[in-house]
Structure 1
């Protein structure tokens, strides 16, 4: 009998009857500019905050009369997406833009001084639909500070690249809350950033709630993966170069809490994983025995190197690793967290003397104390409950 981890996976097949998806920024420009006129505005964004035509959102707004973007704020990876995971960011020497603040590193929650003299805060960042992506933590901290200072907060909605129906993984136990997981939501939560913002506020997941306005998209369906939107793909962070990587990311991100490389420092981050001590022939044989749905594995080898803006001192730097490359065969029936849990279990079963797990980091990423807890009925019931509650925050 195959030893697989119990999971719950919710999916639908898309049917695109619309034209190009219109992101919230374009809807704002076309219909809601009066909200911005004659106000001092702070804008939280990065390289992914673009109009459908590819213009920087903040710049498109700043070009209008009576609209002033006086301060810019950037999340992890920087204003231009130019910093690797966890890399320190300093914009003190840049003077060609409005005043620019980093909300990563020592100052993750904006200070009162940063938000001083502002009448309005706007958030426009392309998210990835995964709990461990820190942009949604930055969103929460900024909404909380806006509420403390009685500043109106606007979220410009964008597509969830993984669709609005893919929900996977355990609900975060708040005992393991951190910047890589601040809310009691699944690993993959099936909401747009605007819907999540509404849920954060209404569920009381931050200390104080702001006056929140979500500017919705047009022509977006919950069934859409990002390629269905007809919008150009912009890597939301340096190691998510394409949609397939975005979908696979929750399948391998838990390796960050182990001594198994998740492919950073290669041309295929998160699509490949391995270590110098792995017998990938044996591993491939065992993975294929699991008959995991919607995914294909093949042997690979790679040597991680430092890549500017993408990988700083990656695991096994300049050492040859033997591992596996993942290919998705059916994204509509693919459950990323289920895959990741089975990958870790299989590797640990085959190489128990080699695998090292950072328990604290694993609990923060997974959202639970132990990996095998997810197989319990209680966890499955929590996921069903989240699915039902989150529907009340659907915009689309």
Structure 2
């Protein structure tokens, strides 16, 4: 029988999750030393001197032990404004929570939200910017919204003649490519470009692809430089030293995220409101499994989580190093636990946006065997892999 956990001790959960957000877990390390793009200051720092600089950053944007904003200010770079993505500049906003404009108390720099009224920098926001710097840790999934922010920032820079410098970071899901390629009929902020669910690119490689394939408007006008990582390749295991967002607290959650995010469009919980988000699946029905957890509202992490205060029964994933790659099998198997598709997929439109097509909704409704699902997108995936090769900066 699986170990049973109830997460009623809210203070313990908050302390546990915030530990990951602020300092990361002790397990977070790379196979070998990697030099981040932000650390290659000799490549980009001189280009910022005397310029009005905008930065697109969050809590992962560090140069060694110093946040990029603080580092640039210490080098007398004029940081004009900070553009804050989903989860905010300090990474302390829960999933989907509106991020407001404010001022960074440490540096005194204005913070402009790109996850509130505006998701793309307006022309007015860019008027006093000469060069923009983008430095955010991604996790390699199409529906992880930092890459949509990158897309919009690139478009705004191209339109307003603002130079863009992308400081690259490794992709913890960068060792493979899988999942349906976005059908542009389902384009949204959780699917901005025709890439698969697991795109297999770093932020820098994606930026080159966005421009090279002319997916962004005014692509030819954009003046962009990508500062690559050193010591990284797509075959290696990479575990970010700082949790990339509040509900991806460790490597296991990051690796399961591509497969479990679809449960957000279902009646089942994937552990938001616990210390183990994206590491469990459950539902308030004792027939669903032996493992139990009880979601609770956690400030700045998970406000009003699904099935708050209810004991959920289901399964957890083992604490070992054999973390899976992308699969629809968890979603498919759990759909079998419900009498009809509508009892399970209660937000079909949201499911279509996450998948990037109507594949899952149709397959479940028509009872198409899981073995046939990949056939629906295999040709598109093969074409994407060929496109991807043109923009790779690192061996695979």
Cα deviation code 1:89-135 (max 9, x no counterpart): 22336555211111002111111111111110000000110111000
- Corresponding position: 1:24 with 2:37: yes
Number of aligned residue pairs: give it: 352
- Corresponding position: 1:312 with 2:303: yes
Cα deviation code 1:233-279 (max 9, x no counterpart): 20111001111110011121000011111110011001011111362
* Counterpart in the other structure of 2:5: none
Contact 2:82 2:111 in 1 (8 A): yes
* Counterpart in the other structure of 1:363: 352
Runs of 4+ in 1 over 4 A off after TM superposition: 16-19, 93-96, 328-332
* Counterpart in the other structure of 1:49: 61
- Corresponding position: 1:70 with 2:80: yes
Cα deviation code 1:1-53 (max 9, x no counterpart): xxxxxxxxxxxxxxx998510000111x13332211111100000000011x2
* Counterpart in the other structure of 1:157: 168
Cα deviation code 1:290-328 (max 9, x no counterpart): xxxxxxxxx410111000111111111101110111237
* Counterpart in the other structure of 1:347: 334
CA offset at residue 222 of structure 1? Answer: 1.2
Contact 1:103 1:110 in 2 (8 A): yes
Contact 1:233 1:242 in 2 (8 A): no
Cα deviation code 1:47-95 (max 9, x no counterpart): 00011x2210122122114x21111111000000000001122233655
- Corresponding position: 1:383 with 2:372: no
* Counterpart in the other structure of 1:294: none
Contact 1:72 1:98 in 2 (8 A): yes
CA offset at residue 280 of structure 1? Answer: 2.8
Q: Which moved more, 1:93-102 or 1:122-131?
A: 93-102
3-state SS, counterpart of residue 69 of structure 1: strand
Distance, in Å, in 2 between the alignment partners of 1:112 and 1:203 is 24
CA offset at residue 344 of structure 1? Answer: 2.0
* Counterpart in the other structure of 2:124: 113
Superposed, 1:132-143 pairs within 5 Å as 132-143=143-154
- Corresponding position: 1:40 with 2:52: yes
Contact 1:160 1:225 in 2 (8 A): no
3-state SS, counterpart of residue 33 of structure 1: helix
* Counterpart in the other structure of 2:259: 251
Distance, in Å, in 2 between the alignment partners of 1:366 and 1:331 is 25
1:197 to 1:278, Cα distance in 2 relative to 1, 3 A: farther
3-state SS, counterpart of residue 125 of structure 2: coil
Contact 1:278 1:351 in 2 (8 A): no
Q: TM-score, normalised by structure 2?
A: 0.84
Runs of 5+ in structure 1 lacking a partner?
1-15, 282-298
Contact 1:259 1:357 in 2 (8 A): yes
Distance, in Å, in 2 between the alignment partners of 1:117 and 1:81 is 26
CA offset at residue 379 of structure 1? Answer: 1.2
Q: TM-score, normalised by structure 1?
A: 0.84
* Counterpart in the other structure of 2:91: 81
* Counterpart in the other structure of 2:288: 280
Superposed, 1:316-335 pairs within 5 Å as 316-327=307-318, 331=322, 334-335=324-325
Cα deviation code 1:175-197 (max 9, x no counterpart): 10100111111111110000000
Superposed, 1:154-233 pairs within 5 Å as 154-163=165-174, 165-209=175-219, 210-227=222-239, 233=241
Distance, in Å, in 1 between the alignment partners of 2:236 and 2:393 is 14
Distance, in Å, in 1 between the alignment partners of 2:376 and 2:88 is 39
